[in-house]
């Protein structure tokens, strides 16, 4: 079957409440977003900023009660400076830009020299004003050394880099692996068949690539090896389908927090379990959207998900992309008021204590 067939939004016979929440109940920090040029091709703006008008973005943030956004697109060098100029320096307190590490050093230099170059890059980015380090899923799935070997998150050559992040007070927001179904056979039994049909490059159950379990184990070894460094496990540490595992990871690793970015589709299928996780770990889960460029519709859907008790509603806000994850609906978390402030902002502000947001 073509990935373009049978993907329209299915009508439901359920008569359920539809709550519109225009502003977050308390000021929020979007702890996971992309405002730079790194991923601009994903939204049809290759080479340009994902956000065309910063003034319009600030107006939107004020309208929906978003106090600040973490911009994960800083890269390093001139690109970092451009992001800092456009966001952090121009609008103090509203943005916190993270840098990246130049992984190509691992292929270009001997091990010791590559490790030194990565640390030097991080220190230069910190001096310029970067507020954290962003690590993408290509670490483990794409980054290779000079001998063509994949570099895993806990590779010894990266030890000094992650130790330096802790020394500098820079949190590491790390995306390791992806939804577990991306490692399953791509057929009608896979709940993400439509998504993988549209993005076949996201199917990772291939020879030569590590398994999902190998990647998650590498992530945990990394976090355990650097107890003085704070790690933010992006996308519920890529284990949103197994919240018992997420809870166990948080129990085992005090220096780990997670964000919900791009995972309300998964969390909303299990709202009671998701709410219990936040109740058990109220200081360890961060709000983040990973939706760029940000829109009113996107933020209002997240407020509905967190604050209302609505059931069985659609998890996406773009009518031309009805099932970006899978063909299911979600129910809201109905979080208690005392959970909203740490979830929406307090936890991010603690993790980013030196960011001024």
**Residue 3 clears pLDDT 50, i.e. is over it:** no
**Alpha-carbon distance 320 to 9, whole Å?**
9
Distances (CA, A) of 318 to 42, 292, 297, 323, 324: 15, 12, 8, 9, 9
Query: What are the tens digits of pLDDT across the range 229-273?
Result: 999 999 999 999 999 999 999 999 999 999 999 999 999 999 999
pLDDT value, residue 83: 98
- What mean pLDDT value characterizes the chain? 95
- Mean pLDDT in residue range 323-341: 95
Mean pLDDT, range 295-299, rounded to an integer: 98
**Mode of pairing for the β-strands spanning 256-259 and 28-33:** unpaired
Overall fold of domain 28-351: TIM Barrel (3.20.20)
Cis peptide before 293 (omega within 30 of 0): yes
pLDDT band at 280 (very low <50, low <70, confident <90, very high): very high
The yes-or-no verdict on residue 6 having pLDDT over 60 is: no
pLDDT one-digit tens code per residue, 195-204: 999 999 999 9
**Does the pLDDT of residue 319 top 90, yes or no?**
no
CA 89 – CA 74 distance, rounded (Å)? 13
Whether 8 shows a pLDDT value over 80: the answer reads: no
Burial of 342 (C-beta count, 10 Å sphere; 0-12/13-18/19+) = buried
Q: Read off the pLDDT band of 318 (50, 70, 90).
A: confident
Contact 106, 153 (CB under 8 A): no
**Strand partners for 135:** 174
Q: Residue 9 — very low, low, confident or very high, per pLDDT cuts 50/70/90?
A: low
Percent of the chain at pLDDT exceeding 70 = 97
Q: Which residue has the higher pLDDT, 5 or 116?
A: 116
pTM for the model = 0.96
Res 7: pLDDT: 54
The 10s digit of each residue's pLDDT in 138-160 is: 999 999 999 999 999 999 999 99
């Amino acid at each position: 079957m073509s990935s373009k067939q049978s993907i329209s939004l299915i009508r439901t016979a359920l008569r359920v409440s539809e709550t519109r929440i225009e502003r977050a109940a308390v000021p929020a920090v979007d702890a996971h977003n992309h405002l730079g040029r790194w991923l601009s091709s994903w939204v049809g703006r290759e080479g340009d900023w994902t956000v065309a008008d910063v003034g319009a973005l600030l107006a939107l943030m004020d309208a929906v009660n978003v106090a600040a956004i973490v911009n994960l697109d800083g890269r390093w060098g001139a690109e970092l400076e451009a992001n800092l100029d456009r966001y952090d320096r121009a609008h103090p307190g509203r943005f916190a830009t993270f840098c990246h590490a130049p992984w190509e050093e691992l292929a270009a230099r001997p091990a010791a020299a590559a490790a030194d170059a990565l640390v030097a890059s991080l220190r230069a980015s910190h001096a310029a004003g970067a507020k954290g380090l962003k690590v993408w899923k290509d670490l483990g799935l794409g980054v290779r050394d000079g001998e063509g070997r994949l570099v895993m998150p806990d590779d010894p050559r990266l030890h000094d880099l992650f130790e330096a992040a802790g020394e500098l007070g820079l949190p590491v927001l790390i995306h390791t692996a992806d939804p577990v179904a991306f490692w399953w056979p791509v057929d009608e039994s896979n709940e993400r068949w439509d998504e993988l049909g549209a993005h076949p490059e996201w199917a990772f159950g291939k020879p030569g690539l590590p398994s999902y379990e190998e990647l998650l184990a590498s992530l945990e070894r990394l976090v355990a090896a650097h107890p003085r460094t704070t790690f933010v496990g992006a996308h519920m540490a890529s284990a949103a389908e197994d919240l018992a595992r997420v809870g166990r990871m948080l129990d085992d690793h005090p220096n780990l927090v997670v964000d919900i970015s791009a995972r309300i589709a998964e969390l909303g299928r299990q709202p009671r379990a998701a709410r219990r996780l936040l109740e058990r770990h109220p200081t360890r889960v961060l709000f983040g959207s990973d939706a760029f460029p940000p829109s009113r519709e996107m933020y209002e859907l997240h407020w509905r998900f967190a604050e209302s008790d609505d059931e069985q509603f659609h998890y996406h806000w773009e009518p031309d992309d009805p099932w970006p994850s899978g063909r299911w609906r979600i129910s809201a978390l109905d979080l208690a008021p005392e959970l909203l402030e740490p979830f929406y902002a307090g936890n991010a502000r603690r993790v980013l204590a030196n960011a001024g947001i």
